[in-house]
Amino acid sequence: DFFIFYFFKKKLIYLLKFPHLFFLYFIGNVGLVPEDYIEFRFSVCYFITACDGDGDCCHVTVGSIYSFDEEWDDDSDDGKSTVGYGGSQMEEGGTMQRGGAHSTMKISLNKFPGFSKTPNPEVYLLTKSVAKGNDKLPIYAGEVGPVWLYPQIQLDCVVADPKKGSKMYGLKSYIEYQITPNTTNRPVNHRYKHFDWLYERLVEKFACALPIPCLPDKQVTGRFEEEFIKMRMERLQGWMSRMCRHPVISNSEVLQLFLNYRDEKEWKLGKRKAEKDEFVGVKIFSTIDPELPELDPGQVEQKYEMYSQFTRSMDNSVKELLAVGHLHWKRCTGPLQKEYRQIGKAFQNLSSVFNTSAYPSRKLDATGKTYEEIAELVAGQPKKDLHFLMETNNEYKGLLGCFPDTIAVHKAAIDKVKEADHLVTMNKISQQDKHIMEKNLSTMSYALQAEMNHFHSNRIYDYNRLMQFYLEEQVKFYETIAEKLKKALGQYTTM
Ligand SMILES: *[C@@H]1O[C@H](CO)[C@@H](O)[C@H](O)[C@H]1NC(C)=O
Ligand SMILES: *[C@@H]1O[C@H](CO)[C@@H](O)[C@H](O)[C@H]1NC(C)=O
Ligand SMILES: *[C@@H]1O[C@H](CO)[C@@H](O)[C@H](O)[C@H]1NC(C)=O
Ligand SMILES: CC(=O)N[C@H]1CO[C@H](CO)[C@@H](O)[C@@H]1O
């Protein structure tokens, strides 16, 4: 009486329930699963263990499609995920797309009152409402151009200590993370769904002006698994650090609430308040207060073109780097490892042949063993350095993926202002309205410029740190190999 779809090992599964039996339809394959093998774990999310005669089991989490529209309560935070970038461990378990509710920012932007796709900047361009003084977001002239006002002391936080919790008599279980801001040093606990809530608020409030990177993937499959939890924590840490580093976001009421709430009551009240915030969507621009001369629409368009081009190009390069890195990872843990093992074996084989003569040789055997060790070093290296390279670039890929939406708002505003002359002649707006539009477009542009300057300063910092780490690890790696080879060589030269 329910119908389910699910991806497992890249195959689509349909699941139909009949009394006492579940039918699992793999593409091209139909299987029966006795009800005993179905473990009902959550109200909207079922867990299946299906074993074959050899005792090989697969674990599948499924959810009924009816539940996709409901509030996804908790519990999506347990399970197995794609860990690492190569090799077979990626294929275990499966992933389920949650009915699109979280996948891209565009969808969230749809929630802006009265907007369909791209939020309509006209609302902002022609409004005269002004935010209260303390909500103002100033922009200053920095060395590199317009910059946000940076706080005196930078906020940072540590995400740590994931703990499994449960409620409803164990029927619902979840992972709770401990987040400690370095301002208070007082830890607060949050579940993944709270992070998700924070993300949604930040998107609603800021996404027209600031790209808000998506949270790390929402995986809803498998069992509690240490590696998955560790990976997710690492990514949540990266996301939180980025939010903390942002001068506007770190100062926002909603982030402060998330990091500093004292008890359940304060959290609930703060939540309700944040959900009622009216200065969301394009209204955010009316809180921006650049203390800089007005830009004319031509200058604004030039900046827009430049940023649009840059973010697109960087997005492409990052994706290419990820593809190359992925390939390298697979080669290291696959063919390369195999080849070095084979070289090692071949030397040992030759050595064993020599052994059958009256002149046995121990050295060649040692050389063979050395190559076998190298094989393991090669296969183990990506986890040590490439991992960080991939993680950082993945994060940037996510961030860059948000720019088109943010930039589209600017484009729409530019186009609107271009229409202004026409609207004046049609008597739809006054000359003064036109000037207000231009002035306010200039404000939007300053916001974009400040944001781009912030992006660049982070990027410079992040990539410096990344490349330094990566190259240091690579040097260590090759030095370890060189040491091993020298030792093997030593056996021949010290005769
Ligand atoms: C928090 O960490 C940031 C970044 O590491 C640092 O600059 C800042 O001074 C720290 N703040 C406090 C209050 O220790
Ligand atoms: C060594 O190589 C020969 C020929 O390829 C093969 O028959 C033999 O089984 C190998 N010996 C070992 C110990 O691998
Ligand atoms: C060859 O003989 C040496 C010395 O007897 C021994 O240490 C070594 O393990 C042997 N190698 C093989 C491959 O059997
Ligand atoms: C929403 C907003 O900031 N509108 C501004 C547009 O420009 C006029 C004229 O400079 C301002 O008075 C408005 O506050």
Per-residue pLDDT, 89: 30
Per-residue pLDDT, 302: 95
Asked if residue 239 is part of any domain, the answer here is no
Ligand in nearest proximity to the CA of 368: 3
Over the range 156-180, which residues count as b (16 or more CB within 10 Å of their CB) and which as e?
ebebeebeeeeeeeeebbbbebebb
Cα 467 to Cα 31: distance, rounded to the nearest angstrom: 49
Letter for the amino acid at 372?
A: E
Nearest protein CA to atom 1 of ligand 2, as residue: 349
Per-residue pLDDT, 175: 86
Asked if residue 352 is part of any domain, the answer here is yes
Cα 436 to Cα 438: distance, rounded to the nearest angstrom: 5
Cα 468 to Cα 464: distance, rounded to the nearest angstrom: 6
Q: Judge whether residue 204 has pLDDT over 80.
A: yes
| Model confidence pLDDT, tens digit, residues 419-448 | 988 989 998 888 999 999 999 999 999 999
Percentage of the chain exceeding pLDDT 70 = 70
Q: Which of 71, 99, 121 is the last residue of a domain?
A: 71
Q: Give the residue among 297, 303, 469 at the shortest CA–CA distance from 390.
A: 469
Contact 397/315 with Cβ under 8 angstroms? yes
Surface-to-core class of residue 208, CB atoms within 10 Å of its CB (0-12 exposed, 13-18 middle, 19+ buried): buried
| Model confidence pLDDT, tens digit, residues 23-47 | 554 444 445 555 545 444 333 334 4
Nearest protein CA to atom 1 of ligand 3, as residue: 355
Residue indicated by tokens 């329930």: 17
Going by C-beta distance under 8 Å and a sequence separation of 6 or more, which residues neighbour residue 40? Answer: 46, 47
Give the chain's domain count: 2
Ligand in nearest proximity to the CA of 259: 1
Instruction: Quote the ligand 2 centre to 360 CA distance (angstroms).
Output: 17
289 or 217, which is more confident? 289
Per-residue pLDDT, 359: 87
Instruction: Quote the ligand 3 centre to 362 CA distance (angstroms).
Output: 6
Q: Judge whether residue 473 has pLDDT over 80.
A: yes
Asked if residue 43 is part of any domain, the answer here is yes
337 or 103, which is more confident? 337
Asked if residue 491 is part of any domain, the answer here is yes
Q: From the CB of 354, is ligand 3 less than 6 Å away? A: no
The chain-wide mean pLDDT, for the chain, equals 78
Asked if residue 340 is part of any domain, the answer here is yes
Q: Which of 71, 87, 121 is the last residue of a domain?
A: 71
Question: What is the domain range of residue 50?
Answer: 2-71
Asked if residue 132 is part of any domain, the answer here is no
Cα 386 to Cα 372: distance, rounded to the nearest angstrom: 22
Asked if residue 98 is part of any domain, the answer here is no
> What CATH number should be reported for the domain holding residue 439?
1.20.1270.60
H/E segment holding residue 45: strand 45-51
Asked if residue 244 is part of any domain, the answer here is no
For residue 278 the two structure tokens come to 């009216």
Per-residue pLDDT, 3: 39
127 or 348, which is more confident? 348
| 49-52 long-range Cβ contacts below 8 angstroms, 24+ apart | 50/24
Cα 362 to Cα 367: distance, rounded to the nearest angstrom: 9
Probe ligand 2: pick from 347, 349, 354, max atoms within 8 Å of CB? 349
Q: From the CB of 350, is ligand 2 less than 6 Å away? A: no
Strand order in the sheet with 45-51: 38-39, 45-51, 57-63
| Model confidence pLDDT, tens digit, residues 50-83 | 444 444 444 444 443 322 222 333 334 433 333 3
Per-residue pLDDT, 301: 95
Q: Which of 10, 36, 71 is the last residue of a domain?
A: 71
